[in-house]
């Protein structure tokens, strides 16, 4: 055993699917080729000015420079509660039903450690955000995949979950608007989730990373607005995508009070909360105007239409998503997700994500992120049209 050998837990993590593609990107760039990446979903526009101004003021105040509490400042918990009431019609007790998180990723990962024992089971949407499977594996538990069925609007068929798996499961990760498929929650699905969770005593974790990024008049609901949801679940709300704040690390867990307190109890052993200035800026973001978000969504919708139009022209049958910053499309006949992503890189010097990166049910699809400036997206789709038609 070498001194730097990883733990068995870490060794058990599946290999990073993007590795080979990343190597090829680096090779092309080194050869002077102008590669356009539509791979990662990281908003390219700056954080809205009113949030930056709140941060500037907060960071200049020395009282924000000391250890925060990881229960969160009153201002931020109140701002989340106010936002949930106004935006979703969901009542949140700011004292007991919300704790800030250092991003949704941290929260989801730590929920695995708060609720899963070794050998435990978590149900994870497939395809899905990688932490739904990586978190359980690192907690020495087992992620059981819930394939998202295109014919069901990219919802899992809960009736198809084997009874012995449902009986063992303690956590269930769902996410709408959905990464990577761009799907919005099918009518009635959250209600099914609540009754499934009640029947099998499973804590639902709804990852609400994209509710503020929607198009064509669609308004995404909170899972917590579903009758009975608070009895069986929590929601993780992140400021990363809607507010262009991926670098700030600002999110929260809201909902079932006992589950929220258990998460907090775990966190007191792990981290020391969000920088107080970020908490104040986060509160300003949530209390702020909706205009900047609406304008951002117009930008994404314009890019979405550009991408969807170009893909249809080259024969890819794709529907325009009503939410998220992704276009999810089937790969052409004769290709796997990876072989198609490699072809696009080779022929057009454009990076798309192979769907299989997000789980086995992502095979046969690729994902395009809309977080690249308009002119670069236009250039990328032009190249795809030219080289792949």
Q: How far, in Å, CA of 89 to CA of 167, rounded?
A: 32
Residue 276 binds ligand PLP, judged by CB under 6 A: no
Q: How far, in Å, CA of 279 to CA of 284, rounded?
A: 9
Give the residue, chosen from 104, 122, 197, 310, that forms a contact with ligand PLP under the rule CB under 6 A.
Answer: 104
Residue 181 binds ligand PLP, judged by CB under 6 A: no
Residue 103 binds ligand PLP, judged by CB under 6 A: yes
| Least separation in angstroms between CB 199 and ligand PLP | 26
Residue 99 binds ligand PLP, judged by CB under 6 A: no
Q: Which stretch binds ligand PLP (CB under 6 A): 101-109, 196-204, 268-276, 332-340?
A: 101-109
Of 25-54, binders to ligand PLP (CB under 6 A) are 41
User: Which two three-digit tokens encode residue 267?
Assistant: 């966190």
Q: What is the distance in angstroms between the CA of the first residue and the CA of the last residue of the chain? A: 52
Q: Which stretch binds ligand PLP (CB under 6 A): 100-108, 154-162, 192-200, 350-358?
A: 100-108
Q: How far, in Å, CA of 198 to CA of 294, rounded?
A: 36
Select the residue whose beta carbon is closest to ligand PLP and give its number. Answer: 103
| Least separation in angstroms between CB 179 and ligand PLP | 4
Residue 207 binds ligand PLP, judged by CB under 6 A: yes
Q: How far, in Å, CA of 299 to CA of 359, rounded?
A: 29
| Least separation in angstroms between CB 348 and ligand PLP | 24
| Least separation in angstroms between CB 125 and ligand PLP | 9
Q: At what angle do helices 337-348 and 374-388 cross, to 10 degrees?
A: 100
Give the residue, chosen from 122, 158, 172, 209, that forms a contact with ligand PLP under the rule CB under 6 A.
Answer: 209
Beta strand pairing call for 142-149 and 251-255: unpaired
What is the chain's length? 389
The conformational region for residue 340 under phi > 0 = left, psi -120 to 50 = alpha, else beta, is alpha
CB atoms within 10 A of CB 247: 11
Query: For residue 191, which of 223, 151, 238, 149 has the smallest C-alpha distance?
Result: 223
Residue 175 binds ligand PLP, judged by CB under 6 A: yes
Residue 246 binds ligand PLP, judged by CB under 6 A: yes
Q: How far, in Å, CA of 214 to CA of 196, rounded?
A: 27
Q: Which is nearer to ligand PLP, 211 or 256 (CB)?
A: 211
| Least separation in angstroms between CB 291 and ligand PLP | 23
């Amino acid at each position: 055993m070498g001194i730097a050998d990883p733990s068995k837990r870490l060794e058990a993590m599946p290999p990073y699917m993007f590795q080979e593609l990343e190597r090829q990107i680096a090779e092309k760039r080194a050869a002077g080729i102008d590669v356009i990446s539509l791979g990662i979903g990281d908003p390219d526009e700056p954080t809205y000015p009113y949030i930056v101004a709140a941060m500037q003021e907060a960071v200049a105040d020395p009282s924000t420079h000391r250890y925060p509490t990881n229960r969160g400042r009153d201002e931020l918990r109140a701002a989340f509660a106010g936002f949930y009431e106004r935006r979703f019609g969901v009542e949140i007790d700011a004292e007991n039903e919300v704790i800030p998180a250092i991003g949704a990723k941290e929260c989801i990962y730590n929920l695995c450690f708060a609720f899963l024992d070794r050998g435990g089971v978590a149900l994870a949407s497939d395809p899905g955000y990688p932490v739904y499977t990586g978190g359980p594996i690192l907690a020495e538990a087992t992620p059981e995949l819930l394939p998202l069925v295109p014919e069901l609007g990219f919802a899992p068929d809960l009736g198809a979950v084997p009874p012995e798996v449902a009986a063992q499961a303690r956590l269930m990760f769902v996410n709408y608007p959905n990464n990577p498929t761009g799907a919005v929650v099918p009518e009635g699905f959250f209600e099914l989730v609540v009754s499934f969770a009640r029947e099998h005593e499973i804590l639902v974790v709804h990852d609400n990373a994209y509710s503020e990024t929607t198009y064509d008049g669609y308004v995404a609901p909170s899972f917590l607005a579903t009758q009975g949801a608070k009895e069986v679940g929590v929601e993780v709300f992140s400021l990363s995508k809607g507010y262009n704040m991926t670098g700030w690390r600002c999110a929260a867990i809201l909902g079932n009070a006992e589950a929220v307190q258990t998460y907090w109890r775990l966190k007191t052993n792990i981290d020391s909360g969000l920088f107080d200035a970020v908490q104040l800026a986060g509160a300003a973001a949530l209390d702020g105007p909706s205009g900047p978000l609406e304008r951002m969504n117009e930008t994404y919708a314009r890019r979405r239409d550009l991408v969807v139009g170009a893909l249809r022209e080259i024969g890819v049958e794709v529907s325009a998503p009503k939410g998220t910053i992704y276009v999810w499309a089937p790969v052409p006949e004769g290709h796997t997700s990876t072989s198609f992503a490699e072809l696009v890189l080779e022929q057009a010097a454009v990076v798309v994500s192979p769907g299989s990166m997000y789980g086995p049910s992502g095979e046969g699809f690729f994902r395009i992120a809309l977080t690249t400036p308009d002119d670069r997206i236009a250039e990328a789709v032009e190249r795809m049209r030219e080289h792949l038609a």
